[in-house]
């Protein structure tokens, strides 16, 4: 799973962030965007803020994880447990989506994509 920036002027793709087997994040995009394998989803301000708020809430209230960003069943995308790995990904992605709120969207587009 990747977050990519696309330079609006050159079309160059720049890797913004990488997640290995964070199935809850995969599930978020599959359920909301009917994500097909390899398809890119352009992230809107609304999606970025929604994810940041969910992730930040989970960071401070771990007991809400199963409600705000539940593990996603299906092909093996990693552990389905709310364990150290899950919360490590929550912390990392909360920081990524926090910073994404301040990107220059006149210059870049931000995309989520995954290949399974």
What does the pLDDT look like over 86-106, one tens digit per residue? Answer: 999 999 999 999 999 999 999
> Is residue 75 pLDDT above 90, yes or no?
no
Contact call for residues 33 and 25 (beta carbons, < 8 A): no
Contact call for residues 48 and 110 (beta carbons, < 8 A): yes
**pLDDT per residue as tens digits for the range 3-49:** 999 999 999 999 999 998 888 998 899 889 987 776 899 999 999 99
2-7 and 13-18 as β-strands: parallel, antiparallel, unpaired? antiparallel
- Average pLDDT for residues 104-114, to the nearest whole number? 96
- Cα–Cα distance, 49 to 60 (Å, whole number): 17
- Burial label for 28, CB within 10 Å (0-12, 13-18, 19+), is buried
């Amino acid at each position: 799973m990747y977050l990519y920036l696309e330079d609006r002027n050159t079309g160059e793709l720049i890797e913004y962030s990488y997640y290995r087997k964070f199935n809850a994040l995969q599930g978020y995009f599959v359920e909301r965007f009917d994500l097909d394998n390899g398809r890119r989803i352009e992230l809107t301000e609304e999606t970025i803020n929604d994810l940041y708020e969910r992730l930040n809430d989970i960071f401070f209230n771990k007991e809400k994880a199963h409600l705000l960003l539940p593990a996603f069943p299906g092909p093996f995308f990693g552990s389905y447990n709310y364990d150290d790995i899950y919360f490590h990904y929550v912390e990392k992605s909360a920081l990524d989506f926090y910073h994404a709120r301040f990107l220059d969207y006149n210059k870049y587009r931000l995309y989520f994509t995954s290949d399974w």
